Amino acid sequence: MNLYLVVHGTAVPVEKDPEQPLSEAGIAESSRLARMLRALGGSRVSPRPRPRLVAGRAPRSSCPPSCLVDA
């Protein structure tokens, strides 16, 4: 088994949005990562908001509801 720990994509600066959602670049980074994880066989996702947002952008086959686990 391989374990890959991943940090979320680039966020909007706090000065622009205090909630710091993913920037356009961060969304693109996350999409590339989702494709890579799908090729590797899937993923498990933290319960925190940003990882769940990224997992929601992943193709359904790479992150079924069962992969959204408390990490």
Count of structural domains within the chain = 1
Instruction: Judge whether 45 lies within some domain.
Output: yes
pLDDT at 30: 83
Instruction: Judge whether 8 lies within some domain.
Output: no
The tokens of 40 are what? 């590797």
Instruction: Judge whether 32 lies within some domain.
Output: yes
Tens-digit pLDDT profile for residues 12-50:
999 999 988 889 998 888 888 878 877 887 777 777 777
Q: Which residues pair with 4 in a beta bridge?
A: none
Give the dihedral of Cα atoms 14, 18, 22, 26; nearest 10 deg: 0
Tens-digit pLDDT profile for residues 51-66:
777 666 554 444 555 5
Dist CA 3 CA 43 (whole Å): 9
Q: Are 56 and 24 in contact (CB under 8 A)?
A: no
Instruction: Judge whether 48 lies within some domain.
Output: yes
Instruction: Judge whether 40 lies within some domain.
Output: yes
> Does this model's pTM top 0.85?
no
pLDDT at 56: 66
Enclosing domain of residue 35: 24-58
Dist CA 7 CA 66 (whole Å): 21
